[in-house]
Amino acid sequence: MASNPKRPQANWPGAEEFQKMLGQMKLPGVPNADALMRAHQRNMEALSAANRIALEGAQAVAKRHMEIMQQTMAELTETLKALASAEAPQDKVARQTEMLKAAYERAVANTREVGDLIQRANGEALGALNQRVTEAIEELTQLVGTAKKD
């Protein structure tokens, strides 16, 4: 089957069948099936880009979680060594209190950092989708406006 240079070449499964079906349909108010198909393809590309952004964000979160775990394990080893030393009981309690406070502060900071990573990734993904929705609405408005003039 020869390819029509005006038709978009979609890479998703069933695109060719969808294009045929759309071309055969007489949709009221939408005279340009090719423009509708191109808009749909851009929608799919935007969804794919948003998914990629979300995946990259999830990978960054997982990587940071691993770094935090490694850091925590190293600090735990140091803490156990420090607690095993022979010190006066009052000094040991003071040292344990300082370590506990520092560990809590790191946990809060790490939780905040991971939350920020998640929020940033979600914001970028939603931003990409919102931009495409806005464009799609404008395209649809133009298509309907063109159909009314014809």
Task: Determine the Cα–Cα distance for residues 51 and 57; give it in Å rounded to an integer.
Answer: 10
DSSP assigned state of 3: P
Task: Determine the Cα–Cα distance for residues 137 and 116; give it in Å rounded to an integer.
Answer: 31
The answer to whether 125 and 54 have CB atoms below 8 angstroms apart is yes
Q: How many CA atoms lie within 13 A of 31 on its CB side?
A: 9
- H runs (alpha helix) in the chain: 15-24, 33-84, 89-149
Q: What is the pLDDT of residue 150?
A: 58
The answer to whether 60 and 117 have CB atoms below 8 angstroms apart is yes
The predicted-structure confidence for 80-138, as pLDDT tens digits, reads as follows 887 787 778 888 888 888 888 999 999 999 999 999 999 999 999 999 999 999 998 88
Task: Determine the Cα–Cα distance for residues 1 and 4; give it in Å rounded to an integer.
Answer: 9
The predicted-structure confidence for 83-96, as pLDDT tens digits, reads as follows 787 778 888 888 88
Tell me the pLDDT band of 11, cut-offs 50, 70 and 90: low
